[in-house]
Chain A
Amino acid sequence: DIQMTQSPSSVSASVGDRVTITCRASQGISSWLAWYQQKPGKAPKLLIYAASSLQSGVPSRFSSSGSGTDFTLTISSLQPEDFATYYCQQANSFPPTFGGGTKVEIK
């Protein structure tokens, strides 16, 4: 199985800050990476698919880049509603696997 490693596991930031989360795959996954946001007690929400495509309705302050094994999710200007846990997921090969999550906390 492909292992997905996210870093950092948590980050403290203030409203307006630029936040970057990284995700590394244990082997190449081309651009088959998705990012999800999860708030406490809620289901995950798809933000980005195919490494850089923004899901409909997701604010443009979210962006992602990368291919192969290294990917980044960037929130350009953190908003109060963005405090949550973020997960990456590879869709290149079976079984689909998720990273361990990055919790974005209020500084």
Chain B
Amino acid sequence: EVQLVESGGGLVQPGGSLRLSCAASGFTFSSYWMSWVRQAPGKGLEWVANIKQDGSEKYYVDSVKGRFTISRDNAKNSLYLQMNSLRAEDTAVYYCARESRGRVAFDYWGQGTLVTVSS
């Protein structure tokens, strides 16, 4: 059974940093692109970043470029999101999601971890 379990969320002050983790199991992690998708309270879904199977390619939504860094450790079946210079508008539930074969959808999602940026 595919499982994605996020951790690392919490309350952080504006300008602060946080590192999210996603532990994957039930599939060959190193064979899939992985993404982070976020959802602000009461709002819709926004793709944030993704990373290729071997970590050689990484892409970001414009609003987080230069502040967030996605990475992965295939030996540990883990995905990460380092978030720096956090802003109030980064407040959201952050989901780890697996990109399907052919990258046509996000076929499995974690339960999400809440990041709150507030003073």
Q: B103 at interface (Cβ–Cβ under 8 A)?
A: yes
Q: What mask results when residues 20 to 58 of chain B are scored 1 for a CB within 8 Å of chain A, else 0? A: 000000000000000100000000111100000000000
How big is chain A's contact interface, by range? 20 to 34
- Residues of B at the A interface (CB closer than 8 Å) are 35, 44-47, 59, 61, 95, 100, 103-112
Q: Please tell me if the beta carbons of A98 and B47 are within 8 angstroms of each other in the complex.
A: yes
Is B112 within 8 A of A97, CB to CB? Answer: no
Inter-chain CA distance A98–B106, complex, in Å, is 12
Q: Is the CB of B47 within 8 A of A34?
A: no
A50 touches B104 (CB 8 A): yes
Asked whether, in the complex, the Cβ of B111 is within 8 Å of the Cβ of A87, the reply is no
Q: Which of B59, B61, B106, B110 contacts A89 (CB 8 A)?
A: B106
Task: Give the Cβ gap from A55 to chain B, nearest Cβ, in Å.
Answer: 7
Interface string of A39-76 (1 = CB under 8 A from B): 00011111001100001000000000000000000000
- Flag if A97 contacts B47 (CB, 8 Å): yes
A residues neighboring B (CB under 8 Å): 32, 34, 36, 42-46, 49-50, 55, 87, 89, 91, 94-101
A43:B107 contact, CB within 8 angstroms: no
Contact at A49–B100, with CB atoms within 8 Å?
Answer: yes
Contacts A87-B45, A96-B47 given; indicate if A44 touches B106 (C-beta within 8 A).
yes
Alpha-carbon gap, A46 to B103, bound state (A): 13
Q: A44-B95, A46-B106 are in contact. List 12 more A-B contacts (CB 8 A).
A: A43-B95, A43-B111, A44-B109, A46-B107, A49-B105, A50-B105, A55-B107, A91-B105, A95-B47, A95-B59, A97-B47, A101-B44
Check B110 against A44 for contact (C-beta < 8 Å). Answer: no
